[in-house]
Structure 1
Amino acid sequence: MLLAIPFGLAIGIAVGMLGGGGSVLAVPVLVYVLGQSVSEATTASLVVVTAGAVAGGLGHARAGRVCWRHAGSFTMAAVPGLVAGTLAADSVSGTALLGAFALIMLAAAAATWRKADGEEPADGRWEGGGACPPLRLPRDLVAGVMVGFLTGFFGVGGGFLIVPTLAIALAFTMRTAVGTSLAVITATSLIGLAVHLLAGRSLEVGVTTAMTGACVVGALAGAGLATHVPQRTLGRAFALLVCCVAAYLLVSAAFLGGPPAS
Structure 2
Amino acid sequence: MGIILGITGGGGSILTVPILVYILLLNPVTATAYSLFIVGTTSVFGAAQNYFKGLVDFKTGFLFAIPSFTAVYITRKQIVPRIPEAIFEINDFVLTKGTFLMVFFALIMIFAAFTMLKKRKKSILKEKKSSLLSLIIQNFIIGVIIGLVGAGGGFLIIPSLVLFAKLPMKKAIGTSLFIIAMNSLIGFMGDVQNLTIDWLFLLKFTTLSVIGIFIGTYVNKFINEQQLKKGFGYFVLAMACFILLKEFYFV
Tell me the SS of whatever aligns to 1:170.
coil
- Is 2:171 the partner of 1:176? yes
Amino acid of the structure 2 residue aligned with 1:57: A
The one-letter amino acid paired with 2:111 is A
Instruction: Report the Cα offset of residue 146 of structure 1.
Output: 2.3
For 2:33 and 2:111, how far apart are their aligned partners in 1?
A: 28
Residue by residue over 1:24-51, the C-alpha shift from the partner in whole angstroms, topping out at 9 and shown as x without a partner, is 3112212322344445533432332122
Q: Taking every aligned residue pair, what percent have the same amino acid on both sides?
A: 29
Distance 1:38 1:143, change over 3 A: closer
Structure 1's 58 and 109: CA in aligned 2 closer, same or farther, altered over 3 A? Answer: same
Is there any run of 5+ residues in structure 1 with no aligned partner, and where? 1-10, 120-126, 128-133, 258-262
Please name the residue that 1:51 is paired with: 41
The Cα of 1:18 is off from its aligned counterpart by 0.7
* AA aligned opposite 1:221: I
Structure 1 residues 150 and 16: CA distance shift in structure 2, 3 A: same
Greater shift in the superposed pair: 155-164 or 36-45: 36-45
1:87 matched residue in structure 2: 79
**Which residue of structure 2 aligns with residue 260 of structure 1?**
none
Using the alignment, how far apart are the partners of 2:105 and 2:32 within structure 1? 18
Alignment RMSD (CA, Å): 3.0
Unaligned runs of 5+ in 2: 88-94
CA displacement, residues 189-244 of structure 1 (integer Å, 9 cap, x when unaligned):
11122222233422151x33332122111111211222221101110121111012
Aligned residues: 232
2:69 touches 2:187 (CA, 8 Å); kept in 1?
A: no
Residue number among 143, 162, 166 corresponding to 2:161 in the alignment:
166
CA 1:249–1:38 in 2, change beyond 3 Å: closer, same or farther? Answer: closer
Q: Flag the 1:76–1:235 CA change in 2: closer, same or farther, 3 A.
A: same
- For residue 84 of structure 1, report the CA deviation from its aligned partner: 5.4
**Given the superposition, is the C-alpha separation of residues 114 and 209 from structure 1 closer, same or farther in structure 2, using an over 3 Å criterion?**
same
Q: 1:230 aligns with which of 208, 212, 224?
A: 224
What CA deviation, in whole Å up to 9, does each residue of 1:89-118 have, x standing for no partner? Answer: 838654555445433322321221236x98
User: Which deviates the most, 87-96 or 140-149?
Assistant: 87-96
Rounded to whole Å, the distance in 2 between the matches of 1:157 and 1:190 is 9
Matched, 1:243 2:247: no
Question: CA separation in 2, counterparts of 1:161 and 1:106?
Answer: 10
Match of 2:197 in 1: 202
> What's the TM-score once normalised by structure 1's chain length?
0.76
TM-score normalised according to structure 2 size: 0.78
Q: 1:198 to 1:100 in 2, by over 3 A?
A: closer
> Partner amino acid for 1:102?
A
